Structures are given as structure tokens and as C-alpha cells.
Amino acid sequence: MSSNAQKTAHDPRADRRGLLIILSSPSGAGKSTLSRRLRAEDPTIAFSVSATTRPPRPGEVDGKDYHFMDVERFRAMVADGQMLEHAEVFGNLYGSPRGPVEAAIDSGSDVLFDVDWQGGQQIKESPLGQQVVSIFLLPPSMAELEARLRARGQDSDAVIADRMRKSQSEISHWAEYDYVLINADLDKCEAQITAILEGERLRRARQPHLMRHVQKLNTEFEGMNR
Ligand code: ADP
Ligand code: 5GP
């Protein structure tokens, strides 16, 4: 039985397509941290595990944090139409495999993407663009951004310098996003994203089950003895 078939008429996800939640920011502003928190808080949110040609950082798990692969395999997936979007970021290739995303949103789950502005733009322009909610995170200051990159303790000085140099270009895309948050306080930022998602899920067009509910109310109304 498919997961769609298992849903009841009372399940608001029964005939809804999930949201594509795009989270972008300059490196170090807090995407991975917030993404982990949001998924822990709401396990119904699926995470789009990206493919990348960059080597794993200490502690990163293949298939969980990224699908780590060589350039040949990455290019073969692109040529085969298996990437929803892909881009070169900091000299490495990154992409979002299409299959798991389509399966998740068809079953009514929301999918979270940690992608750069190029990925966000491609997903918005794809046939799934109607389902996109895009959120951009700004750091409170450039000094704090650098401090966070250092505090993460996973990149060399050269990599940190490169990411700082490229941060301005990522930040220049802030106005292309639906929502822009300054990630000064993690708890506050997480609460703001949760509020955004609650609102976006309540949009009329995203609640197809309401039609049935209103029909039921009408039937009840007509059956009333007045
Ligand atoms: P990104 O995924 O955007 O590159 P990370 O989520 O890895 O960024 O965050 C970089 C570092 O900054 C991590 O060590 C994280 O714990 C820290 N961090 C993220 N948000 C905040 C915040 N609001 N206040 C303090 N530290 C933060
Ligand atoms: P990192 O190497 O720090 O994990 O990620 C570097 C940058 O690549 C971040 O801006 C991140 O959002 C972006 N990124 C990660 N996965 C993808 C992806 O699948 N597609 C695109 N376009 N960017 C990605």
C-alpha cells in the first residue's frame, strides 16, 4: 500500500503536496544547525540529502549529511536528469537528487533544502516552484560570521578565508527570498521559521481537504430542520 493510500480522509496531508523549504545563507550563518533543530522538532519534515564532490568533514556521515561521490558519478546523475538542481559552490559540485524529493512531496511531506542561491533559483524555476517557500539567513555581523566559521572548527584557515571572501556574493541574493531572518539567536530564529511554516501550510491553496470539509458543512446545513 502506498503512503498516500494509508492516509485517511481526515488527514490534512491526504491530498496535499508538500512544501519545498529552501534555506540559504552565506556559509557559517547557521543553516545546518537550524535544519537539524527543525527536523528534530518536526520529524515529518524530510531533508533533501544533497550529492557533493567535496570530501567529508570529520563526523559527516555518507547518506545522512551528504551523498559523497566523485565528479564522474555526479556528472552522470546530472546527464541522466536525476538532479532537481545542481551548482558549483566553492569549487565543488553540489546537487539535490530528484527522486527522494518527488516521493516525499507526493506523499504530503515537506522537504527542507540547504542549498545556495543558485540551487534555490533553479528549484523555484522548476515545475515544483509553486510549492517553494524560501528563507534566507543573514548573520548579525561579518565578524560574527567569521567567528562562527572558526567555532565550527571543521575547516582550514584557507577554506574559511575563501568562504568569507564569497559571503558577500551569497548575501547579495537576499532579496530574492520570500523570508529573510537575522540569525542572532538560535531559539528565536527557529521559532520564526516554525511560524513561517505554520502560516505557509495554512494557505488556502495548500489545504485541498478544505473543499470536502465545506461540502460537509453545506450538507449538514441543508439537513438542518429550520
Ligand atoms: P551553515 O550550515 O550555514 O554553514 P552552521 O549551522 O554549520 O552554518 O553554523 C556555523 C557555526 O555557527 C556552528 O558552530 C553553529 O553552532 C554556530 N551557530 C549557528 N547559529 C548560531 C547562533 N544564532 N548563535 C551562535 N552560534 C551559532
Ligand atoms: P558545505 O560545504 O558548507 O556543506 O556547503 C557549502 C554550500 O553549498 C552551502 O551554501 C550549501 O547551502 C550549499 N549546498 C549544499 N548542498 C547543495 C545542493 O544540493 N545544491 C546547491 N546548489 N548548493 C548546495
pLDDT per residue as tens digits for the range 25-64: 999 999 999 999 999 999 999 999 999 999 998 889 999 9
Task: Report the nearest-CA residue for atom 5 of ligand 2.
Answer: 27
CATH number at residue 160: 3.40.50.300
- What is the span of the domain harbouring residue 125? 16-196
Does residue 6 belong to any structural domain of this protein? no
Confidence at residue 144, expressed as pLDDT on a 0 to 100 scale: 98
Pocket perturbation via mutation, ligand 2, pick of 47, 114, 124 by most ligand atoms within 8 A of CB? 114
Residue 225 placed within a domain: no
Q: How far apart are CA 74 and CA 57, in angstroms?
A: 19
Rounded to a whole number, what is the largest CA-CA distance in the chain? 78
Please tell me the chain's helix, strand, coil percentages from 3-state DSSP, rounded to the nearest 5: 45, 20, 35
- Residue bearing cell 539567513: 137
What pairs with residue 185 in β-bridges? none
Residue 47 to residue 195: CA distance in whole angstroms: 19
Predicted local confidence at residue 6, as pLDDT: 42
Q: Grid coordinates 568533514 are at which residue?
A: 57
Beta carbon of 33 within 6 Å of any ligand 1 atom: yes
170 within a domain of the structure (yes/no)? yes
pTM for this predicted structure? 0.92
Count up the domains in the chain and report the number: 1
On whether residue 201 sits in a domain, the answer given is: no
- CA-to-CA distance for 15 and 17, rounded, in angstroms? 7
For each of the chain's 226 residues, which pLDDT tens digit applies? 334 334 444 455 556 789 999 999 999 999 999 999 999 999 999 999 999 999 998 889 999 999 999 999 999 999 999 999 999 998 999 999 999 999 999 898 999 999 999 999 999 999 999 999 999 999 999 999 999 999 988 888 999 999 999 999 999 999 999 999 999 999 999 999 999 999 999 999 899 899 999 999 999 999 997 6
pLDDT of amino acid 24: 98
In a domain, 11, yes or no: no
Does 224 reside within a domain? no
For residue 10, is it within any domain? Answer: no
Is 32 a member of any domain? yes
